Structure 1
Amino acid sequence: MGSINESERYVNLLEYLRSRTQVDCDSLDIQIVTELGPFVDCTSNQADSYFELLNPRRAALLKKSADLSRHILPEYPDVSFEELAVEISMISLSLTIAPLIPGNIHVMANPSLSYSTPKVIQNGQRIASLCQRLDPSFDLSRLCIKVPATWEGLQACRKLKDLGIKTLATTLFTMEQAILAAEAGCISISPFVHELRVHFDEEYHDTDPIFDLCVKAQQYFERYSYATRVKACSLISVDEVMQVAGVAALTLPPTLLHPLSEMTEPEAKVAALSLFNHNTKIEGQEMERRSFLDEEARFRETFAKRDGGKGRVKTTQAIDLFCEYQLKAEALMKDTDTTIVA
């Protein structure tokens, strides 16, 4: 870094980030939440849950989830033992974090249902009922269902809002999805700055990150008085995190939280990185008010054309990857049940 200029004010990057943005934890590891907090919300998905369930310290929770699923399965004739057990385990993991944060726990809907509005609605209602069953004292207003930002998924969010269930639009890569999510009443959207694939394929490099979507969506929501907040995710470096300092919220994994907590830099240098630090407003056609809520054909057409179809492809690939981890988690539950029965 060179010689230190004593006139410069140095800041810890994680503390500075918290002064600009709501910082949420993208992990179900209690130790991370305890050591690197405070956090407001906790987010998770099928991959997070699967890897956490592989930890030997979660063996009791894994067994308890399988036992309960077998016991209450007759009450849920439309789902398999494995699906129900995965939902129970995901909720249970999130509930272990709930006492450590003041905000929302986020549980992701089964990604395999992403293209069926009725099934996503049913899934959201089931998650809420299971959450209440697992912890009757838990305030359900702190539960948020993460729903992939397909047409069908976002229409389900519209209905879930009417039922008093919070939702977040995930696997989101375009303004069309952001606008529809706001119209549907999602409390947050999570633009994936990088394709989900970069976190699972070491040989893959995403050359087209979408930092600008975080800025555009936030300014659009503010301009037209939508309550929906931008909760950015899928960043891969400390510099990238600092570029979006100023976004409403960020959900960060341990791989970024640890270095942020350990690094100190000149405040002026850090502030200059932020895309939200410049007071210029995005104008033009991109910021004109649009509506897709009851316009399925127009949404599908414009979504498909966005960036030459890249947004739709990225969304599909992300959902497919989450489906892989859904199946891995279900296989884990099946193995656990076989062991228990044996």
Structure 2
Amino acid sequence: MNQLDYLKKYSTIVVDSGDIECIKKYHPSDATTNPTLILKSVLSKKYEYIIDNSIKYAKSISSSIDDQVNYASDMVSVGFGVEILKNIPGYISTEIDARLSFNTEKCIQKSIQIIQLYKNYGIDVSRVLIKLAATWECIQAARELKKIGIKCNLTLLFSFAQARACAESGVFLVSPFVGRIYDWYQKSFINSEYCSELDPGVIALKKIFIYYKKYRYKTIIMGASFRRLEQILALSGCDRITISLDLLEQLKMKKDKFLKQLDVNKINTVLIKPSPLSESEFRFLHNQDAMAVEKLSEGIRQFSSDQIRLEKFLLNKL
């Protein structure tokens, strides 16, 4: 057995990639994509048939070039999702346009459109998670989408306030970004010897895990955005762990046995949950965390930028 085999005993493994061929190699339960990963796969020219199908679909729906770009962009994301679902037994997480991250109603509308495109392919809504940035507006969108049977994955999660608000809203799954938290603090401790017990990203996820399990929140925790194997091993036992292809390969090459680090059975539960955060309380608490404010904004900008690059690519094709 290798370390990936051991990890699969403790946590559900999710692949973070848009590369369909590589996903087949690791046999994960679920997979996640985002605008950056989709753009990378699109530019590799390995999946031109998905682009061609998306262009044909867009032209069949509208004669407006702006509408065609929007339709083609959505269909590209769904096209990759459909192909990935052929090779995994569980969920595909598909991210909507990050430029909508501060508009609850538009997030709801776009999410419903994405689900309908999956349905057109015969994919049941139960196999798709809509990825939204963990802003207050998106958390409210996830709350409303849940009422109509659409599950969400709240991503770009950095602060404990975000984690609390997601759980209190009944969000299906959250993705704390362990590696990006680590990146931010590395600016101050760049020459320090690495220790997972002192890793701010690992500490942040452990805090969320203990809090959720203590108060019996049903929201699934999926550790994401890892930079080092030590981070992954330190969080073994987390509900789900989404891992990049390079780290998956490293896990597969190592034979050292390791023990489960997060165990829900060792956490004492409490029946009465804390009062839910109001919007003003959420915004104040999130604002108190400089790292979270900076990394959330940065993540939204990055995903928005890659979405725009994808749209320019599709515009040239159209």
TM-score by length of 1: 0.83
Say whether residues 1:30 and 2:20 are aligned partners.
Answer: yes
Q: 1:31 to 1:19 in 2, by over 3 A?
A: same
CA distance in 2, matches of 1:146, 1:21: 20
Does the CA-based 8 Å contact 1:24-1:40 persist in structure 2? yes
* Residue among 145, 161, 164 paired with 1:160: 145
> In structure 2, which of residues 89, 92, 95 is the aligned counterpart of residue 108 of structure 1?
95
Question: What is the CA deviation profile of residues 87-106 of structure 1, one whole-angstrom value per residue up to 9, with x for unaligned ones?
Answer: 11011101101121111111
SS in 1 for 2:131: strand
1:93 aligns with 2:80: yes
Contact between 2:16 and 2:243, CA under 8 Å: does it hold in 1?
yes
Q: 1:60 aligns with which of 43, 46, 49?
A: 49
Which has the higher mean CA deviation after the structures are superposed, 188-197 or 242-251? 188-197
State how far apart, in whole Å, the 2-side matches of 1:236 and 1:85 are. 33
- Give distance in 1, aligned partners of 2:148 and 2:159: 27
Partner of 2:119: 132
Contact 1:192/1:232 (8 A) holds in 2: yes
1:187-198 alignment to 2 at 5 Å? 187-195=172-180
Matched, 1:332 2:317: no
Superposed CA deviations along residues 23-73 of structure 1, whole A, max 9, x for unmatched, are 011112222222111x11110100010011112221121121122112213
Query: What is the letter of the counterpart of residue 316 of structure 1?
Result: S
Q: Structure 2 counterpart of 1:48, which letter?
A: L
2:33 to 44, 58, 61: 44
Runs of 5+ consecutive residues of structure 1 not aligned to the other structure? 1-10, 338-342
Secondary structure of 1:56's counterpart equals coil
Gaps of at least 5 residues in structure 2 are: 191-198
1:4 aligns with none
CA contact (8 A) 1:154 1:184 kept: yes
Verify the 8 A CA contact 1:196 1:318 in the aligned structure 2: no
Q: Does the residue aligned with 1:241 lie in a helix, a strand or coil? A: helix
Secondary structure of the structure 2 residue equivalent to 1:106:
strand
**Is residue 303 from structure 1 mapped to residue 286 from structure 2 by the alignment?**
yes
Name the CA distance, whole Å, in 2 between partners of 1:125 and 1:157: 11
SS of match in other structure, 1:115: coil
Contact 2:159 / 2:292 at 8 angstroms: preserved in 1?
A: yes
Alignment match, 2:194: none
| Cα distance between partner residues in 1 of 2:216 and 2:154 | 18
2:30, 2:91 within 8 Å by CA — same for their partners in 1?
A: yes
The reply on whether 1:276 has 2:262 as its aligned counterpart is yes
Structure 1 counterpart of 2:58, one-letter code? S
Structure 1 residues 47, 336: CA separation in 2 closer, same or farther (over 3 Å shift)?
same
Give 1:281 deviation, angstroms. Answer: 5.3
SS in 2 for 1:210: helix
1:213 and 1:196, CA in 2 relative to 1: closer, same or farther beyond 3 A?
Answer: closer
Match of 1:117 in 2: 104
Count of aligned pairs between the two proteins: 306
**What SS does the corresponding residue of 1:259 show, helix, strand or coil?**
helix
Matches within 5 A, 1:61-80: 61-73=50-62, 80=67
**Which of these residues, 114, 125, 128, is aligned with residue 143 of structure 1?**
128
What is the aligned-residue RMSD (CA, Å)? 2.6
Give the C-alpha shift of residue 219 in structure 1.
1.8
Q: What code does the residue aligned with 2:305 have?
A: E
From the superposition, tell whether residues 324 and 197 of structure 1 become closer, same or farther in structure 2 (CA, over 3 Å). farther
Contact 2:30/2:89 (8 A) holds in 1:
yes
Higher mean Cα deviation, 107-116 or 21-30? Answer: 21-30
Over 4 Å off, 4+ runs: 203-208, 277-283
Letter aligned with residue 69 of structure 1: A
TM-score by length of 2: 0.89
Q: CA deviation at 1:109?
A: 1.2
**Equivalent of 1:179, from 164, 171, 179?**
164
Alignment of 1:212-231 (within 5 A): 212-231=203-222
Task: Pick the structure with greater CA Rg.
Answer: 1
